[in-house]
Amino acid sequence: MDRESNLNRAETFSFVNPWIRYFLFFFSFLFWVFSLLIVGIGVYAKVQKATTVRDTFLIDPAVILIVVGVVMFFITFCGCIGALRENIRLLKTFSFTLTLVFLIQLVIAVLGFFHSDQTRDALGKFVKKAIVHYRDDLDLQNLMDYIQKEFKCCGWNNYTDWSWNLYFNCSQENPSSERCAVPYSCCTPVPGELQTVINTMCGFGIQTQQSQEVDGSIFSVGCADRAVLWIESHLLLVGALTLGLALPQVTSSL
């Protein structure tokens, strides 16, 4: 009788608390499915592109989605299967990689805070590449248009940054019909005008005008200054999002 009870106890013994096990499995499975969705979207976006520009590979939104999705898939796979099968090796791998990702995010956040000028320069290089290849990569074009419309800004420092682009360059030698122009996403919406109708020529010739003259026609403020103002006015939201991203990682890695 004692032998049978000992065998039953051994069969039901678990190294992992059942509540923690089920929470970890649910959390990992949820993000595992989400990672597959991210990879699928990234692959679809990459396949749909007719051409690939070598200089934009590292800042290509489709490539970024694929890389983030693959990393998430590996981490959540270890957590999901490790919790389901109580595989200590997989759970240790899950804990180690999640802790490593959290520490990398923490280091980036600290360095970005204490070295704000260098962070601004690094982001400026990213935006400059996006402006240079605005017409070459549809994903970058959509991303830049979205940022400028949402933040109500134009260029990185100001609207003249669009001279970095081959088509919008304001030099006399530029034969493009868009010479000295800015994208339509820089234009301020006209009151009473249907937002579904896009006036793609609203920014033509803007770069030849002074900043005082373009006010009311386009967003004359650069996206760098707008981003700083947005963060300062939404500190509570930024803190909540940071805590929301960090809390599951810390909880799952413990």
Q: 115-129, pLDDT tens digit by residue?
A: 778 888 888 888 898
| Cα separation, 82 vs 183, whole angstroms | 50
Q: DSSP letters along 64-96, please?
A: HHHHHHHHHHHHHHHHHHHHHHT-HHHHHHHHH
Q: Mean pLDDT lowest for which of 113-127, 162-176, 202-216?
A: 113-127
Cα separation values, 246 from 72, 105, 161, 208, 241, Å? 15, 9, 36, 47, 9
| Cα separation, 121 vs 104, whole angstroms | 20
Helix (H, G, I), strand (E, B) or coil at 215: strand
Residues forming a β-bridge with 215: 218
Q: Mean pLDDT lowest for which of 4-13, 22-31, 186-195?
A: 4-13
Query: Residue 4 above 90 pLDDT?
Result: no
202 pLDDT tier (thresholds 50, 70, 90):
confident
Residues forming a β-bridge with 128: none
Quick one: pLDDT at residue 254?
54
Query: Residue 213 above 50 pLDDT?
Result: yes
Cα separation values, 114 from 107, 110, 117, 238, Å? 11, 6, 9, 17
Quick one: pLDDT at residue 1?
47
Between 155 and 138, name the one with better pLDDT.
155
Task: Determine contact, residues 165/135, Cβ cutoff 8 Å.
Answer: yes
pTM above 0.85, yes or no: no
Helix (H, G, I), strand (E, B) or coil at 189: coil
